[in-house]
Amino acid sequence: MRVLVTGGAGFIGSHIVDDLLAAGHEVLVVDDLSTGKMANLPGSVELAQVDIAGPRFLEIARRFKPEAITHCAAQASVVVSMAEPIIDATTNILGGLQVLKAAIETGCPRFVYITTGGALYGHPLYTPSDEGHPIRPISPYGLSKWTLEGYASLLLPESTPPRVLRLANIYGPRQDPNGEAGVIAIFGSRMLGGQPVTIYGDGEQTRDFVYVGDVVRAHALALALPAPRPVTINIGTMQPTSVNELFRVMATETGYTLPAIHAEERRGEIKHVTLDNLQAKEALGWEPRTGLQEGIKATIDWLRQARVAAGVRG
């Protein structure tokens, strides 16, 4: 199968690309490398370094004639979206519309949209939040990702039903420790370097941490769904973990001994996020396999290797 992956050089996208290649699919990665990295991709994969919101994207998609499109490309930082909502909307809405247009014009029968769960539901009325929870985003990021969901349901033909995966907080190897998002990568990098670690707010906010390998498996199952019907599915563990608890677990794993620094909580961030995954079990036969302790160890091991490769001491 010919699969076009937007954002395929990024954290989640590159793991999906690896899985697709291992399954024998022909893959075209579209990534402008603004946050994605060439180092995340195997040398054998074809890369089109273009912006999905730019004019060349449609030409490339038409030439490739994908049999499936996985849309991972996104502006993924809540903080950036609050400061620069136009940048957020340009990528997540206008760029996303171009990806939908590519699916329509090429007659692509399979479309998987990798999106957010927690940022859609806002301050939850109940947890774990299921797919029927009211949509109440409190950041431009959550609003932009939800907006493209609406466009997909309106614009894609019945022959291309959207398969929407609403992810919880994803972590694992290749997550950028220098970005605004990805608390486990950020904490891990700073702990290994003996640097101060900042917790925004009191640290009692909770998140639903899902290992990237489990997300890749959910994507493969969604892509393989035979039924020509749209699905919208949460991908989470149903296990809330506070940031303070996360700090303690990671400090033990890294041998970090400094206390956390607390700063004012950031606008647009949600206090508690836990996603119900019963629909994932029913529709995909999916459930998480990687526990938090195991996933953190794998992430820390990768961060250590990355530091060695970069010639960083300590």
Distances (CA, A) of 161 to 109, 110, 312: 8, 7, 47
Report whether the peptide linkage leading into residue 124 is cis, meaning its omega lies within 30 degrees of zero: no
Which residues pair with residue 290 across a beta bridge?
Answer: none
Measured CA to CA, the distance from residue 96 to residue 145 in angstroms comes to 9
The one catalytic residue among 113, 121, 126, 141? 141
Cβ–Cβ under 8 Å, residues 248 and 186? no
CB < 8 Å & 24+ apart, contacts of 130-139: 130/234, 130/275, 130/276, 130/278, 130/279, 131/166, 131/232, 131/233, 131/234, 131/276, 131/279, 138/268, 138/270, 139/78, 139/81, 139/82, 139/268, 139/269
Sorted by sequence, the CB contacts under 8 Å of residue 195 that are 6+ apart come out as none
Q: Is 141 a catalytic residue?
A: yes
- For CA atoms 198, 121, 285, 21, the dihedral sign is negative
Cβ–Cβ under 8 Å, residues 189 and 257? no
Cβ–Cβ under 8 Å, residues 26 and 2? yes
Amino acid present at 253: E
Measured CA to CA, the distance from residue 21 to residue 2 in angstroms comes to 10
Cβ–Cβ under 8 Å, residues 208 and 243? no
Q: What is the 3-state secondary structure (H, E, C) of 124-186?
A: CCCCCECCCCCCCCCCHHHHHHHHHHHHHHHHCCCCCCEEEEEECEEECCCCCCCCCCCHHHH
Residues designated as active site: 141
